[in-house]
């Protein structure tokens, strides 16, 4: 198993926060995500997609072109490409903003990664997002008052516990149809979120 990270850049709102690809990591531009990298003077290892939103492809960059009529989004295709290369850790940039349907699709993809036992996170200008399936995630301290929200996806999540937040929760059930876990708050200490059975999406606000 490859322990390095796959950095996937889509065509949504880009932030450079935590964008530090290192040796052994792969940098994949999903279609128009290449433009954000070009603006920073960064060349991706590969650009893939149907090429319907890209403005400029750096000369000599590897391309993997797909037809416009396809069953997966360019971001999902990029994740699948990296997974085939053996990557199990994913950082998604440019995954929010722009079209709402693509943002929702990217959150679905994030949940799918968790259900496959992979680690994924969305890094956006205003939030960080994670998915958790049948397990626990521990987080380092963030600024007190930072919003932390937890949503069940794909069905009822059982045995949900929130520790170290302003409003703790223990062995609860969260429904995908009731936003019980929205707008919790960090208190400046480490915190942990766990679920015994089911899948959660976790969002953490990014201070201005």
Give yes or no for a contact between 106 and 122, defined as CB atoms under 8 angstroms apart.
yes
Regarding the domain delimited by 131-205, which CATH topology (the fold level of the hierarchy) does it fall under?
Rossmann fold (3.40.50)
* CA 166 – CA 144 distance, rounded (Å): 9
Q: Identify the CATH assignment for 2-125 out of 3.40.50.10240, 3.40.50.300, 3.40.50.2300, 2.60.40.420.
A: 3.40.50.10240
The pLDDT tens digits of the residues spanning 124-140 come to: 999 999 999 999 999 99
pTM: 0.92
Q: What's residue 2's pLDDT?
A: 64
Cβ proximity of 122 and 92 under 8 Å: yes
87, 4 contact by CB (below 8 A)? yes
Q: Say what the pLDDT of residue 58 is.
A: 80
Spans of the chain, pLDDT less than 70: 1-2, 208
- 70 three-class SS: coil
Q: Where are the domains of the chain?
A: 2-125, 131-205
Q: Is it true that 2-125 and 131-205 share their CATH fold?
A: yes
Would you state the pLDDT for residue 16? 92
Please, which residues have CB within 8 angstroms of residue 201's CB and are 6 or more apart in sequence? Answer: 107, 110, 111, 129, 130, 131, 150, 151, 153
Query: Which of the 8 DSSP states describes residue 186?
Result: B
pLDDT at 37: 92
3-state SS track over 86-148? CEEEEEEECCCCCCHHHHHHHHHHHHHHHHCCCEEEEECCCEEEEEEEEEEEEECCCCCCCEE
């Amino acid at each position: 198993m490859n322990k390095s990270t796959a950095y996937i850049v889509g065509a949504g709102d880009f932030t450079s926060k935590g964008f530090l690809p290192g040796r052994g990591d792969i940098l994949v531009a999903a279609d128009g995500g290449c433009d954000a990298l070009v603006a920073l003077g960064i060349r991706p290892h590969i650009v893939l997609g149907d090429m319907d939103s890209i403005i400029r492809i750096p000369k000599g960059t590897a391309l993997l072109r797909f037809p416009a009529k396809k069953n997966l989004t360019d971001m999902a295709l990029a994740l699948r490409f990296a997974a085939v290369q053996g990557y199990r850790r994913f950082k998604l940039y440019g995954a929010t903003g722009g079209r709402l349907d693509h943002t929702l699709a990217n959150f679905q993809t994030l949940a799918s990664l968790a259900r496959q036992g992979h680690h994924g996170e969305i890094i956006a200008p205003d939030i960080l997002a994670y998915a958790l399936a049948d397990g626990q995630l521990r987080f380092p301290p963030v600024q007190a008052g930072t919003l932390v929200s937890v949503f069940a996806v794909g069905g009822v999540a059982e045995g949900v516990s929130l520790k170290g937040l302003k409003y703790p929760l223990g062995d609860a059930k969260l429904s995908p149809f009731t936003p019980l876990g929205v707008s919790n708050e960090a208190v400046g200490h480490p915190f942990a979120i766990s679920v015994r059975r089911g899948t959660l999406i976790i969002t953490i606000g990014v201070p201005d």
